A and B are shown apart, each in its own frame.
Chain A
Amino acid sequence: MATVVTSPSRGMRRYALPGVLFLLGTIALPLLLLVRVSLCERGSGFYQSGTWTLEHYRSLARLDFVAIAATTMVYAVVISLFVTSIGLPVSLWIASRSPRWQTLLLSLVVLPKFASALAIVFGWQQLLSSAGPFSQLAYRLGVTSEAVPLNRSPIAAMLAEVSMIVPYAIVVLYAQRLRIDPRLTVVAAGLGASPSQIFARVTLPLMVPGIRTVAALGFVWGMGAFLGPSMLAGPGSTTLAVQIHKTAMESSRWPLAAAQSVVLLSLVAFVGAAMRFATGRRWR
């Protein structure tokens, strides 16, 4: 009897239709258009209908572009590693506090997500400037002979990006921690496991799904990171997102920017598929 209402009838799918059509229009269509534009000849506008060429992809097969793609991958891997290794201990620590403290700490962790990414990048830019506390501290302690601006380096860019992703990591890992049956650790302790054994053999393995999600999100968001690298990385270090923005907005070379975007999207999709393959399960 229950199947009458809960079965996935066509009647149910009808409710998804407006949303699905909207998403196809705002997500699938722009992505298809991007692929098409990347195969167009360069013209005055965004899209020269009827022209086909592979010249933009050919022009990307150069060492400097490959170097940019490699830099982007390095950013993504470093961001993913830091996000995961910071998020894990912090989320476990929060989960070990009293309920009242957990609520307060989680609110504090989430609070920066209610500022725009621009506000966070602006904050880091000022914190790491030569007048900022870190530079001044290094100078006063005699580490540097003068107050050096720290806000023009890839490390600053990664720091800003990590600080923007860590709140999500903490929330996801905290939710994963809550799913672990608290009796398991009690049983393990009762069987004579030391706290470190409980962590390594009970808690950590059960945290793996959350860790996997966070590492993947960190990588994907690191690949697409734009504001940090463009505002804080300094002139020597360019990522794909920054390069695409430059090609499109400063040189108005739309088809080339589209081709660069297709490369970025393919890299993200490739790594996503590789992760799914490696872990043997579907990723979200």
Chain B
Amino acid sequence: MKIVSIFAVCVVGFLLLPVVLTIWISFSPDSFLTPPRGEWSIKWYREFFSDPRWQNGVANSLTTAIASATLAVVLGVPLSYSMSRGTPRYRRTITTLVFLPMVLPPVAFGLGLLGLYAILGLVGSSLSLILTHGAISLPVVCLLLGNHFGEIPPELELAAAGLGASRGQILRRVIIPILRPTILASFLAAMVISWNESLLTILLAGPQSETLPAIVWPQLRFAASPLVAVASAVSIALAVVGVSSIRRLGRVRVGGSDPHGNSR
């Protein structure tokens, strides 16, 4: 047991190591990619926030994240509602389609998307990134929402239907208000996914639409400076802010939605 404990602690440490080192390097006082020992400096942060290209990248990352998360939630809520009330066979069919983007090799998938956007004249546009990020965050939105739709007692819907509500009214006035915390949490999760999405973004972004990972990539490949570390540190910091809001929202659970009473 002791060996397992030591092993597990080492694994958790190893997982954190690259993140810690990246943040450490971002405080380097010179242009070497070595973590600063004695002298720390925020010089690269100043440079990052005063460079129009990086500023543009932060703005693009933010707008793409908000737009694609909105898209994923607007499509995902009715989709997972329909899945949760469907026959097992219907559920399986939709599930396969929804979770496909998670298992497709991103380079192959991205190449197909690039071809599609070329035909549509959308190459390098923000719209193409928003659609792509929407498609890859949809599985996560459905995963987060799926369980909770099942937890809503059917009696509530029956009661609403008995009082004369249409399906649309039931969804808008009963289901969505109950699930509001989960919907907000899945929106933030979709934002974080879009914010960090690297591989498809590298393939699809253009100079007008480039998000932070798209600016980092060529620099990482050819001439890395501590700016790359700063960009990573800034994006981690902003993502963690998003996560802490998810957790805060996650605590606002509706009473009775947890049948086993074992939620933390």
A residues near B (Cβ < 8 Å) are 1-2, 4-8, 11-16, 18-20, 22-24, 26-27, 29-31, 33-34, 37, 45-47, 86, 89-90, 92-94, 99, 102-103, 105, 108-109, 111-112, 114-127, 129, 131, 160, 163, 166-167, 217, 220-221, 223-224, 226-227, 231, 240-241, 244-245, 248-249, 254, 257-258, 261-262, 264-265, 268, 272, 282, 284
Is there contact, CB below 8 Å, between B15 and A116?
A: no
* Contact digits for B59-86, partner A, Cβ 8 Å, 1 yes 0 no: 0000000000001000110110111011
Chain B residues 198 to 247 lying within 8 A of chain A, measured CB to CB, are: 198-199, 203, 212-213, 216-217, 220-221, 224, 228-229, 232, 235-236, 239-240, 242-243
* Closest beta carbon of chain B to A241's beta carbon, Å: 4
Is there contact, CB below 8 Å, between B22 and A115?
A: yes
A117 to B192, CA, bound (A): 12
Is there contact, CB below 8 Å, between A123 and B22?
A: yes
Known: A8-B87, A19-B76, A122-B232. A254 touches B105 (CB 8 A): no
Is there contact, CB below 8 Å, between B236 and A118?
A: no
Is there contact, CB below 8 Å, between B112 and A30?
A: yes
Is there contact, CB below 8 Å, between B15 and A109?
A: yes
A267 to B107, CA, bound (A): 14
B42 interfacial by beta-carbon distance below 8 Å? no
Q: Which residue of A lies closest to B34 (CB)?
A: A131
Q: Which residue of B lies closest to A244 (CB)?
A: B107
Is there contact, CB below 8 Å, between B4 and A224?
A: no
A-B residue pairs in contact (CB < 8 Å), sample of 25: A5-B161, A6-B157, A15-B78, A16-B94, A18-B79, A23-B97, A23-B101, A24-B97, A26-B134, A27-B97, A33-B112, A93-B7, A116-B213, A118-B217, A122-B216, A122-B228, A125-B220, A126-B33, A224-B104, A244-B108, A248-B114, A261-B105, A272-B103, A282-B92, A284-B95
A45 to B117, CA, bound (A): 13
* Closest beta carbon of chain B to A8's beta carbon, Å: 4
Among all A-B residue pairs, the 5 with the closest Cβ atoms? A123-B18, A224-B105, A30-B112, A19-B79, A119-B232
Known: A16-B79, A23-B97. A5 touches B104 (CB 8 A): no
A29 to B113, CA, bound (A): 8
* Closest beta carbon of chain A to B102's beta carbon, Å: 8
How would you classify the secondary structure of chain A's contact residues: helix, strand, loop or mixed?
helix
Is there contact, CB below 8 Å, between B111 and A34?
A: yes
A284 to B94, CA, bound (A): 11
Is there contact, CB below 8 Å, between A86 and B82?
A: no
A1 to B14, CA, bound (A): 55
* Contact digits for B19-50, partner A, Cβ 8 Å, 1 yes 0 no: 11110010000000110000000000000000
B residues near A (Cβ < 8 Å) are 4-5, 7-8, 11-12, 14-22, 25, 33-34, 71, 75-76, 78-79, 81-83, 85-87, 90, 92, 94-101, 103-109, 111-116, 118-119, 131-132, 134-135, 138, 154, 157-158, 161, 167, 171, 192, 195-199, 203, 212-213, 216-217, 220-221, 224, 228-229, 232, 235-236, 239-240, 242-243, 264
On chain B, the residues within 8 Å of A262 by CB distance are 108
Known: A115-B19, A122-B228, A231-B221. A47 touches B119 (CB 8 A): yes
On chain A, the residues within 8 Å of B101 by CB distance are 23, 26-27
On chain A, the residues within 8 Å of B220 by CB distance are 118, 121-122, 125, 231
Q: Which residue of B lies closest to A6 (CB)?
A: B154
Known: A90-B12, A112-B18. A30 touches B85 (CB 8 A): no
Is there contact, CB below 8 Å, between B111 and A248?
A: yes
Is there contact, CB below 8 Å, between A116 and B105?
A: no
On chain A, the residues within 8 Å of B236 by CB distance are 114-115, 119
A124 to B20, CA, bound (A): 11
